[in-house]
Amino acid sequence: YAKESGRNQVQYFNSQIYAKIERRIKIEKHLRKALERNEFILMYQPQVNLLENQIIGFESLIRWESPELGRVSPLEFIPVAEETGLIFPIGKWVLQEACRRNKMWQELGFPKVTIAVNLSSKQFYDHSLKDQIHSILLETGLEPQYLELEITESMTMDVQVAIATLNSFRNMGLKIAMDDFGTGYSSLSYLKEFPIHNLKIDQSFVKDISTNSTNAAIVNTIITLARNLKLVVIAEGVENVNDLQLLQEFNCDRVQGYLYSRPVEASQVPDIFARFAGNQVNMDE
């Protein structure tokens, strides 16, 4: 019986592995044509300044609508794009689209905000990225301080190269944010050496801080750390009012999450601006 069940288990694991490989192959196959077939959409999620209740930026988040596979999460296809090198054209498209949209909103007369773009590790270590961004800013007419690059701790393993690369971006006038902070392995002693502007607390810590005292302690500590390092701190994944109130008590600078808005398509961004413009009027009255 033991032998029999052992064999079944092996078969089970094999079929699991085959399913994964099959999915991976399908994604790669269809991902190769996705850009030329216009299957990507960039969505935008507002970031709100808690003191003034104003929008100070949007994070751009890619979506893939595949006719063959349906909607595929970036958590699934970005790693495939990285492994295959497809991240280079995809990442360039994201930068172009994000800068173009932000400039468009500015020209429509909305308050000037930053557009944040997630970088993958391969992009970050690509020597041509700096020139690419420079060209995109020239082409779109967006000023560099309105583009923010999001990097993660895992991308800074090569500390000296990371510091040099970040310095060159900073000298260009770009903003830099450390994304998913707390989930990586970067040593705290290096954090103060990275020339970054913003620290984004990972949503896994922000989740339920009003009912989870461990998470609350972690978030409070990260906010204090950011303040001491003179970094602007952003809490990601804020979903309810109780969590928001606690973040206000902790003096968190900015928040981003479903409570304010899910990521929206470009066409809905003016509505979001309008919503917050209304808030401002009410507060002034």
Residues at the contact surface with Mg ion, assessed by CB under 5 A: 118, 150, 179-180, 236
Closest-approach residue to ligand C2E (CB): 257
Partner from ligand C2E, Mg ion, none binding residue 27, C-beta < 5-8 Å depending on class: none
156, interface contact from ligand C2E, Mg ion, none, CB < 5-8 Å by kind: none
* Minimum CB distance to ligand C2E, residue 284 (Å): 28
Q: Taking the complex as a whole, how short is the minimal distance between the CB of residue 234 and ligand C2E, in angstroms?
A: 11
Closer Cβ to Mg ion, 30 or 223, answer by number: 223
Beta strands at 70-72 and 54-66: parallel, antiparallel or unpaired:
antiparallel
Q: What is the 3 state secondary structure string of the chain?
A: CHHHHHHHHHHHHHHHHHHHHHHHHHHHHHHHHHCCCCCEEEEEEEEEECCCCEEEEEEEEEEEEECCCEEECHHHHHHHHHHHCCHHHHHHHHHHHHHHHHHHHHHCCCCCCEEEEECCHHHHCCCCHHHHHHHHHHHHCCCHHHEEEEEEHHHHCCHHHHHHHHHHHHHHCCEEEEEEECCCCCCHHHHCCCCCCEEEECHHHHCCCCCCHHHHHHHHHHHHHHHHCCCEEEEECCCCHHHHHHHHHCCCCEEECCCCCCCEEHHHHHHHHHHHHHHHHHHHC
Q: Which does 126 bind (CB under 5 to 8 A by kind): Mg ion, ligand C2E, none?
A: none
Q: What sign does the dihedral 79-80-85-88 (CA atoms) show?
A: negative
Partner that binds at residue 182, options Mg ion, ligand C2E, none, CB closer than 5 to 8 Å by kind = none
Minimum CB distance to Mg ion smaller for 180 or for 253:
180
- Least separation in angstroms between residue 15's CB and ligand C2E is 28
**C-beta closer to Mg ion: residue 30 or 181:** 181
CB closer to ligand C2E out of 96 and 279: 96
Which region holds residue 141: left if phi is over 0, alpha if psi is between -120 and 50, else beta?
left
Smallest distance, ligand C2E to C-beta of residue 178, A = 11
Q: Residue 39 or residue 150: which is nearer to ligand C2E going by CB?
A: 150
Shortest distance, CB of residue 10 to ligand C2E, whole angstroms? 34
Check: CB of residue 39 under 8 Å from CB of residue 72. no
For ligand C2E, the binding residues (CB under 6 A) are 45, 61-62, 73-75, 78, 94, 118-120, 150, 179-180, 203, 236-239, 257-258, 263
Instruction: Give CA–CA dist 115/112, Å, rounded.
Output: 10
Residue 75 touches which of ligand C2E, Mg ion, none (Cβ within 5-8 Å per kind): ligand C2E
Given the complex with ligand C2E, which of 44 and 146 has the nearer CB atom? 44
Interaction partner, residue 39 (ligand C2E, Mg ion, none; CB < 5-8 Å by kind) = none
- Pick between residue 74 and residue 184 the one whose CB is nearest to ligand C2E: 74
User: Shortest gap between Cβ of 234 and Mg ion (angstroms)?
Assistant: 9
- Residue 67 C-beta: closest distance to Mg ion, Å: 27
